Structure formats: structure tokens, C-alpha cells
Amino acid sequence: MDRENDGINKNLVELSTFLVGNALCGMDILKIQEINKLIDMTTVPQAPSYVLGILNLRGQIITSIDLSKKLGLGETNMSEDPRNIIVNSKGEHIGLLVKKISDVVQADTSKFEPPPSNMGGIQGEFFTGVYKTKDKLIGILDVDKVLKLEETQK
Amino acid sequence: MQIEDDEILQGFIEESLEHLADIENDLLAIEEDGANIDEDLVNKVFRAAHSIKGGAGFMGLTVIQDLSHVMENVLGLIRSSKLVPTPEIINVLLQASDKLNTMIEDVSNSNNYTIEEHVVPLNAIYDGDFTQPAAKEEPAPVAEIVTTEPPVVETISAPEVVETVPVPVPEPDPEPAPEPEPVVVAEPTPKPVVQAPLKKQSPPVKKAAAKVKVDSSIRVHVSLLDSLMTLAGELVLSRNQLLQTISSGDTQNAESVGQRIDLITSELQEAIMLTRMQPIGNVFGKFPRVVRDLSAKLNKTIDLTIVGKDVELDKTIIESINDPLTHLVRNSVDHGIESPAERTKVGKPAKGLVILKAYHAAGQVVIEISDDGKGLDGEVLAEAAINKGLITPEQAQLMSDKEKVNLILLPGFSTAKEVTDVSGRGVGMDVVKTNLDQLGGQVDIISEVGRGTTIRIKLPLTLAIIPCQIIMTGGERYAIPQVNLEELLRIPAGQVKDRIERVGNAEVVRLRGNLLPLIRLADVLGIKRTYFDQEEDKFRDDRRERICDRRGKETALDPEEEAILRAQELAASKDSDRSLDDRRYTASSALNIVVVSNGSLKYGLIVDKLQDSEEIVIKPLGKHLQACKGYAGATIMGDGRIALILDVANIAIMAELTSIDGSDRASEVAQAAEDLVKAQKDKQALLTFRSSEQEQFAVPLNQVERIEKIKRSDIEELGGKRVMQYRGGSLSLLAVDDVAMVQPIADQDDLLVIVFNIASQLVGLLAIGPIDAMQISVSIDDVTLKQPGIMGSTIIEGQTTMLVDIFEVVGALFPEWFEDNEVYEAADDGGVVPTILIAEDSKFFMNQVKSYMTDSGYDVIGGEDGAIAWELLQQHGDEISVVVTDIEMPNMNGFELTETIRKDARFSKIPIIALTTLAGEEDVAKGKAAGVDEYHIKLDKEKLMASVHHYVKQLH
């Protein structure tokens, strides 16, 4: 959290952007532990459908989530070389599977705009805001909200 | 108060708490010794108080210092024998040490505590004018100490804080409560009310913080640390070697380095585990006080025996069993042990006994809390459970006594007060169980009304690393904790049909005469059923709906379809592809069953493949998987992939299988099991064999020594007798047809010899296969086919089978063998023939036993059940020398008969021999408890007669 505050103080953050479905999403790069393409997963029968399985990241067990499915955009095609973004959410490491990793974008937090109600098929509530670059629109993903357990999803 | 050096303070706290823990037990010991002071012990307590005083003085903890000072004064008097430590004095000292404990745990506020209530009586004792002021205030706070840990501190501190009021906050205190002062001073009347809650709030917070600090450090022996250092050094060396080997590509060396690292890692693991191990005495240590205080309060006298203080357990487990154990011990003292008056009334010593015991068993630690109190009444518990709607009356009927007693652990069973009144037990036992479940422990209750209760807790040594059985299903690996593992069962393809049955909707397997419910892991997890094809070494889809499909008794095919199938099979045998597909006759059709248990619940889990057992490290699953109840966690396997750890109890719930739940399945299975058990009780283990192709014979399995395969050419005929060489001697051979009028032994090259030991000589019975061992219920026809050598017949699997009387056969051929055998000579004893009373409900066995007896020259009176036998005994009283009784009988069983006989003064000395078909250890123990002198297996003529002779001789 401290790091995030630093970023806000300077008003400048680096956003790591990636594709979920066709929507370009981004999150503060400091929230990301690493990005890898580990896909040797152990499936967990009876798990929620958006959980792809669990994987071993250097001795730590990490739940891998299909971000696209979690956001209601259908399954990520595993043959398209998807990537795992390992984030730390509420004290636990979670892998978010995304279709493609895109650029790192420098963004000014003061220029973030409130999110639209829907962006590329994703509910606006999962975004904290949007950021416009010259040619792109980046939805700033609220990871904690995405990963919040909903009673109905059980 | 400013404490400069946190480390020194921390050290003081730890040391003092340790001293105090010792002081408590030492004081109790001093109390017991009374005037005969054990000087060493008093010295020890004295020194402890003294060092606390010294440390406190150094730290500026004046209140602690003052209190320990007055304690020291009193102890000094005791030490110099100027004062006899009466229970009252010890009480005051104990309370003072409690107070010290409280203050030290809350060290930063300790100077605000008031110690008047302790200092005054202590000084009074010191001055010699002590008049037991503690009497009335004592029981209340002390009793509460016992309940639970955290609240205690509060209850004790509360009243004191109230008294603190006149002396408010002497030093600049971190306590953020300056406002209460004016309020209190202004209104003196509501003082306690206002003050108490306000002050109460702040100390607990700090206490919590302080407590965490105390708990987070651990004492480890330096030698252990040294060995850890050495191992770490070795590990570094090996790592260097490994790196070197890798860069040089020397594969041969790599192997030895690998081995070395393996060795070091396991040693390191063990050593690190040891640092976490703590003796259970740390927990047990407080119970003498608990029992003492509580029993004094309840006006009971109770001895507490502690066994196995040195047994070591993981620190986390030690910490978490504290509460459940306290609860159980309190229960034993409070509800288990009766009042002295009640005890003397039922003939028990007035002093009750509670035993606390810890020991290792099968890689686990077992803790037993037993009392010799009134025990739990299963019937009463069952009734209460029915009234609460936890079980149905039908279920209750099906339950064994043990299951009923274990009802007390059901959630929602107790908590209510009326249960306590009815059963005398059960306050929050389910809470105890939940606590222990979290630790991976198991609870078992053994209780006998009037004799006492034993609660047995099994705990894993550590929570960090557990041995697990690895299994595979659906291509993934899963781990089942060894704690839950009962056995592994593989049912070969050929036996699936016989052993798997359907009871209603449930599949069950016959396991040693019991029905075990089965659960398919794939079904519970909702994954595709697969099976492991051994020939192709891969998993394939399983299309069978039921395991016993097309095989089971309930799903027998109509003849027409069967004929088609037969034809297909014939075709298949020609076509190799086809036969590969047909799994019924390949090894992959075998079922792999993991028999697991959790407390009283036991079931079989069908899995695709069994793998090794491994020691694994449990890692928790993420929050997104918390809803998956079937897993206890996950672990990383040697190849880096992950295996899920199965939660045996939850899988049963997911499969809607609970031992005492209302589902049809459970009750059906229970019913079926019950029926089987009933049928089981009078079962006889038989060995079936053939002599000629057409006739099937059987002998009681317990008479058989061995079975040998021989060739016809091994048989030598000498002197009109058949013998063979066997273990360096000659073995006499005989065949059934030598004596009985049956068809001669088949003329084939491969023969079997069934070896018996008769009259302490070995003899072989020639036979041919197929042989089989089975248990059948005894409905033996002893009329139709009876002839010399054949004691009767019975039907086994649709085939009439003759039971061979091996004694008769041998007796006919080798009469001389039995000549030495004792026969009761009537003449020896002035013509009075001893009479044997036999109680046996099976006509067949009655006749058999009767004939043994009459052959040996005894008179026999027989009764068809225990009740009749008891009447006969009363009528014939003096004539009867020995009673021989069956166990399973209607009206009055063997145990009841024995008890009845033993209760009667006239017959208390009469020898009682029990006969049984299956001498289970439990039965033997039960029989011994009832007063049975000896146990024999039915139809074991020699042993039975030997012991009858023995007892008759003793009598005369």
C-alpha cells in the first residue's frame, strides 16, 4: 500500500497493460509480483468454474484464475499462449490468466477518468477508472474487487 | 514506568512465568507433605519467589517485588519449620502466586495492581495471627481460574481494579484513561461501577499484546541448536558439491551428492521438528491444581494420577489442546466422579480417581482422561438425542452401545442444561470435538455405566508434516492423511461380483463379515469416472454405472441376455481386441479401495490407482477454493506438481454418508450390517475341500495346522499305512474314505495334504482341490448324512457338504493315539461320576460337546439357553462340577449366565468354560470380566477336554 501511495503522490504510475477478451486492461505494475507462462496446473474438482487450478510457484501454492471467465467473457483459449499475472491480493498470491500481455504505460493518476458502465463487455464496477492514451483506452482493473468472493459465485 | 531494555524485561517475564508454573505444583506437593517438610522442595519455591523478587526490584516493578517479598517471608518460616503448611496457608500462597502470574503477564500495568488482599493474610501468617480470612472469598475466583484462560485474567483483575480507585495512577502511565479520575473522585458512590468497565477495557488489549510476545519465543536446548548448525554447515558443503558436479556434468558423482543432500535434509527436518517439540507436561502440569480446587469446591476427594509427562508434541498442538483437556478434566471431576457418599453406597472407595495419561501409539500421541466415576449411559444419551431430533428412534435401535456413548460428541447435542441433568455430562463436548478436529485429532469415548469413562484423544505428533497415502483418480494425484487410513483393499476382478453388493442405493463391500459403505472418489468430486488400464499403463473412461453391474446379485440378467453375452465372450476369446476391451477378466477390473475412518465413521473410497505413501507438507488453499470442502489443503510432490489432500470427513458428508445421519443410505447400510452381524455371531470358519470330484467336505478351520501340495509319488505305503516325508519325519496320511463310506480319493497326480495336530501328533488328510476357507452360519444337519467320520452336513453355496470329524477318523485308524488320553475313571472317586452342565442353543454343537464328554466318562446335563442352564444349575447344584457354556444364546447369553452364576455365593467357585466360534479379543476380555475361567474354540475337542479334566481333577 505504501508503494501505491508513493505513486499517487508523484501522480505518476506505471501501468502494466494486458488483454482480457478484447478489452485492454491495466493495473499498477507495483501490484504485480511477476508474469509467467506457467500453465502446468493441477485441476481442482468442485472448484468455482473460473478457477483453472492450482500451480506450484517455487514452493508456494497459487490459485490460478481465468480472468476472462471471471469477468464473464468466456474462457481464455489455452492454445494462444496465455500468461499468468501473479498478484498479491489480501495476503495471498493469485495467478490471473490473461490472453496477452501488452506494453507498460506511464500514466498520470490525476488524468484517470471515472469508468463507463461497461467496457468491452466487462462490468464497469470492476474498474477504478479509465486512462486515455493517444490511441488506446485502458481500463484500470480493481484487482481486489475482481477477486472478492461473491456469495452467489459459490 | 519506563522499561528501558525490552529484552531484559522479556527475559524476566519468561523466567518468572516458568518459576510460577513450578511454584504451583510445588506448593501442592508441600501441602500434601504437611508437617514432614521436604526441605529441597520448600527451598526451590523459596528461591523462585526470591528470584522473582530480585528481578522485579531491578526492573522497578515494585508491586510484584512487594508481593513476592511477603511470600518469601512465609516460605522462609515454612523452610525453617517454624510454620506447618496447612491447606489454608497454601491456599493463600497459591492465590498470591496466581496474582503474581497475572501481574507478570500484564507487566506494564503491574504497578497499578493492588495486593492488599494477599499481603494482609500473608503478613498475618508471618506474624503468627492468621485466622483464615480466605475461607469465604477463596472458592469463587479460584473456581473461575479453571474455566478458560483468557477470561480468568479479567475476572481476577476486575475486583482488584475496583479497589485501586483510591490510589489512582501513581506514575506517568501509558494508559490512556485520564478522565475517570475526576469522575470517580466527584461521585464516590458509583465508583466501582464506573471504574470497573473503564479500566477493564484497556488492560486486556495490552495483555493480548504481551501474551503474544511471550508465546512467540521458545526455549531450545543449546545442543540441539549446535546440531542444527552442523547440519546447516553440511548442507552448504553439499550445495557446493552439487554446483560443482552440475558444472562438470559428472553424473556419477551427482548421484552420491543427491544421496547426501537427501540424508542431510531429512536429518535437518527431524532436528527442526525437535525444536518445536514440547513435553506435554507443560499442559498436564496445571491439572493437579485444577482438580484440587474443583474437587474441594464440590466436596469431593479425588486423586489425580498423571502418566507420561515427558511425551512430546508440537508446540502448536500443545497450545491448542489446553482448553479441550481442561474441559474434559473438569467434566470428569464435576460430572464423572460421584460424591463420596454416593461412591461408598455403591461400594467404591470414597476417593475418586482421575487418570491423565499420554503415550505414543502408531506414530500418534494418545491422551487418555479416565475416571472411575458413574460412566455414561448410552440409553439415556440416545433418548436425549432422539428428543432433540438429532437421530431417529430407528437409528438409535441400530446403534451399538459405543456409538450411543459417542452421540455426546454430536454438534447440538448438549449445551442445554437439561442434558446435564439427565446424563450428567455433555456440556459442550461437541466444542471439544471441533477443537480437536481442527488439530487432526480423533476423540473416542469408552464408558461403562457405574465403572467410569475413558476419553481417548489421538493427536498427530505435528501439524507441519504428515505421512499420507497417495492415490490417483481421474489422472490426478490426491493425498489421504495416514491418520485416516485404515487399510488398503484390492478386490480382484473375479471377486468383485461376490464382494460388492448393493443395498438400496448404496454400494457396499463385504470386509471380514462387515458391510462397508463405498464411495467413488470420482463421483464425489464430480469428475469423469476412469479406471487404470495396467496393460496400456493409462487411464481410460469407465462406462459402468455400478461397480457390480452385470455381476451383482440384485442385477442378475435374464437367461436370454446372458446367453448372448456368453456367445460374445466366446467370440471375444478368439478376437484379442475384443477381450482387451472386456474388462471383466483383466486385472484392471480389480477395485482399489482405500478404507478410511474418521472417529466412528468408516467407509471405503474407490480410487483408480494406489501409489506410495509419502511424507508431505501441508499448504493451505487459496480463498477461492475455500468452498471446496473436500480438501484439507494441498501439497507439492517430488516432481513439482501439486496434489490435493482429501478431507475424509467432509467427503463423507458430500457423499451424504454420515454414520448417524438420517439418510436412507446410512440406515440401510446399518440395517444390512446389523443383519449380517446377527448372522455372523454363530458362524463357523470352515475349510472346504474334496476327496473325490463329486463330494465336498469341510473341516473346522481352526483345527487345520497347514495345507501342503504334494505329488502322488510322494506317498509311500509301508506296513499297510500311508506316510510321507514331512519336515524330517514321517507324516501319517489318511483319507476320508478310510473310515467313512464315501467315494475313494480321486486318482490324480496333484494332491493336497491337510495337516492336523491331533493328540499332539501331526496327521495328514489327503484331499484334492478346490479348497476354500469360508465362514458360514451354523445350520448343520446331524442326522441325514451322519456316519463314522462324518459329523453331519451343511449346505455351502448350494452344495451339500459333509463335515469331517477328524477326531473320529483318526481315532478309528489310530486308536492307540488316544489311549493316553484321560478318561474319567468313576472308580477313582467312589463311584460318583462328575456331571458337566452344558449351555448351548445349537443342537449340533450340543450333541458334539455332549459326545466328547460322555466319551470321556462324564455325565452331562444340557440346557438350550442360559436361562434354562441356570435353572438346571439351581436344581442340580452340588452335582455339577464344571459349566460349559456357549456365548451367543437366546434369552440369556453366556456372559449373562456367567455373571448370574458368579453372583450366587453357592456357585461362585464353579469352573466356567466358555465356547465360542470366533474368539475375538474383545469377547475374551469381556468373558474374563464376567468371570469365565477359560475360553475354547468350539470343536477343539482336545483343548476343551484337557481343561475339563483339569478342572474336575482340581475339584476332587
**What is the least distance, in Å, from the CA of A63 to any CA of chain B?**
6
The enclosing domain of B102 has a CATH number of: 1.20.120.160
Nearest to A133 by CA among A107, A113, A97, A109: A107
Residue B625 sits in the same domain as residue B721 = no
pLDDT of residue B545: 55
Residue B841 and residue B30: Cα distance in Å, rounded?
Answer: 62
- Domain-ending residue, one of B279, B295, B314: B279
Task: Judge whether B152 and B122 are in contact, CB under 8 Å.
Answer: no
pLDDT of residue B941: 75
Asked if B622 and A59 come within 8 Å (Cβ–Cβ), the reply is: no
Chain B: residue whose CA lies nearest to A95: B622
Residue B583 and residue B938: Cα distance in Å, rounded?
Answer: 43
Q: How many CB atoms lie within 10 A of CB B268?
A: 17
Chain B: residue whose CA lies nearest to A92: B622
Residue B286 sits in the same domain as residue B428 = yes
Residue B441 and residue B364: Cα distance in Å, rounded?
Answer: 9
Residue B647 sits in the same domain as residue B668 = yes
Residue B182 and residue B844: Cα distance in Å, rounded?
Answer: 97
- How many residues in total does chain A contain? 154
pLDDT averaged per 10 residues in sequence order, chain B, 956 residues = 61 79 80 76 80 77 82 80 79 84 80 79 75 43 38 39 40 42 39 38 37 57 88 90 86 84 86 82 82 81 84 81 81 80 82 85 81 80 77 73 75 50 49 74 80 83 77 87 85 76 72 77 79 65 55 40 52 44 53 81 84 82 80 83 85 67 46 54 74 84 81 82 82 84 83 81 84 73 79 79 83 72 49 79 77 79 84 82 82 83 82 74 75 78 81 76
Q: Across the interface, which of B624, B641, B644 has its CB nearest the CB of A149?
A: B624
Q: How many CB atoms lie within 10 A of CB B891?
A: 14
Size of interface A-B (CB pairs under 8 A): 69
Domain boundaries, position B505: 465-676
Mutate to test the interface with A, among B618, B619, B642 (most CBs of A within 10 A): B642
Say if B852 falls within a structural domain.
yes
Asked if A42 and B620 come within 8 Å (Cβ–Cβ), the reply is: no
Residue B415 sits in the same domain as residue B357 = yes
Say if B1 falls within a structural domain.
no
Measured at the CA of A39, the angle between CA A33 and CA A43, to 5 degrees, comes to 110
pLDDT of residue B874: 84
Give A-chain residues touching B642 at CB under 8 angstroms. Answer: 42, 54-56, 61
Residue B763 sits in the same domain as residue B908 = no
Give A-chain residues touching B617 at CB under 8 angstroms. Answer: none
Residue B275 sits in the same domain as residue B286 = no
pLDDT of residue A9: 54
Residue B534 sits in the same domain as residue B661 = yes
What is the grid cell recorded at B144? 473461575
Contacts (Cβ under 8 Å, ≥6 apart) of B782: B791, B792, B843, B844, B847
Number of domains in chain B: 6
Residue B175 sits in the same domain as residue B78 = yes
Residue B64 and residue B103: Cα distance in Å, rounded?
Answer: 7
Asked if A42 and B631 come within 8 Å (Cβ–Cβ), the reply is: no
pLDDT confidence bin for A120, thresholds 50/70/90: low
Residue B185 sits in the same domain as residue B297 = no
Asked if A54 and B642 come within 8 Å (Cβ–Cβ), the reply is: yes
Contacts (Cβ under 8 Å, ≥6 apart) of B266: none
Residue B330 sits in the same domain as residue B419 = yes
For B305, phi and psi rounded to 5 degrees? -110, 130
Asked if B630 and A46 come within 8 Å (Cβ–Cβ), the reply is: yes
- Measured CA to CA in angstroms, residue B814 lies from B418, B720, B723, B761, B809 at distances of 72, 13, 13, 11, 8
Place of cell 476369446: B573
Q: Is the torsion defined by CA of A29, A31, A34, A35 positive or negative? A: negative
Chain B: residue whose CA lies nearest to A58: B640
Residue B490 and residue B483: Cα distance in Å, rounded?
Answer: 20
For A119, phi and psi rounded to 5 degrees? -140, 115
- The residues of B whose Cβ lies within 8 A of any Cβ of A are 474, 476, 525-527, 619-628, 630-631, 634, 636, 640-644
Q: Give the start-end residues of each E strand in A58-150.
A: 60-66, 83-89, 92-98, 100-108, 118-119, 122-123, 127-132, 137-141
Residue B776 Rama label (left phi>0; alpha psi -120 to 50; beta): beta
Instruction: Please name the residue ranges forming H helices in B60-86.
Output: 62-79
For helices B39-59 and B62-79, the axis angle rounded to 10 degrees is: 160
**What is the least distance, in Å, from the CA of B442 to any CA of chain A?**
27
Asked if B630 and A51 come within 8 Å (Cβ–Cβ), the reply is: no
Q: Which CATH number fits domain A2-147: 2.40.50.180, 3.30.70.100, 3.90.70.10, 1.20.140.10?
A: 2.40.50.180
- Measured CA to CA in angstroms, residue B441 lies from B141, B193, B434 at distances of 32, 44, 9
Nearest to B72 by CA among B116, B29, B126: B126
On the question of a cis peptide bond just before residue B139, with omega within 30 degrees of 0, the verdict is: no
Asked if A47 and B634 come within 8 Å (Cβ–Cβ), the reply is: no
Give A-chain residues touching B620 at CB under 8 angstroms. Answer: 61
Contacts (Cβ under 8 Å, ≥6 apart) of B347: none
pLDDT of residue B950: 83
Task: Judge whether B767 and B699 are in contact, CB under 8 Å.
Answer: no
Residue B762 and residue B602: Cα distance in Å, rounded?
Answer: 42
Residue B657 sits in the same domain as residue B727 = no
Give A-chain residues touching B646 at CB under 8 angstroms. Answer: none
- Domain-ending residue, one of B175, B199, B215: B215
Residue B15 and residue B4: Cα distance in Å, rounded?
Answer: 18
Which of B729-764 are b and which e, b meaning 16 or more Cβ less than 10 Å from the residue's Cβ? eebbbbbbbbbbebeebbeeeebbbbbbebbeebbb
Give A-chain residues touching B476 at CB under 8 angstroms. Answer: 42-43
For helices B62-79 and B116-127, the axis angle rounded to 10 degrees is: 30
**In whole numbers, what is the pLDDT of chain A averaged over residues?**
79
Give B-chain residues touching A46 at CB under 8 angstroms. Answer: 525-526, 628, 630
Task: Judge whether B776 and B684 are in contact, CB under 8 Å.
Answer: yes
Residue B18 sits in the same domain as residue B148 = yes
Asked if A63 and B634 come within 8 Å (Cβ–Cβ), the reply is: no
Say if B327 falls within a structural domain.
yes
Task: Judge whether B789 and B736 are in contact, CB under 8 Å.
Answer: yes
pLDDT of residue B259: 85
- Domain-ending residue, one of B626, B646, B676: B676
Say if B502 falls within a structural domain.
yes
Which of B129-145 are b and which e, b meaning 16 or more Cβ less than 10 Å from the residue's Cβ? ebebebeeebbebbbeb
Give A-chain residues touching B643 at CB under 8 angstroms. Answer: 42
**What is the least distance, in Å, from the CA of B258 to any CA of chain A?**
19
Say if B182 falls within a structural domain.
yes
Mutate to test the interface with B, among A36, A60, A61 (most CBs of B within 10 A): A61
Give B-chain residues touching A143 at CB under 8 angstroms. Answer: none
What is the grid cell recorded at A88? 498479491
Residue B287 and residue B689: Cα distance in Å, rounded?
Answer: 62
Task: Judge whether B588 and B535 are in contact, CB under 8 Å.
Answer: yes
What is the grid cell recorded at A148? 472478492
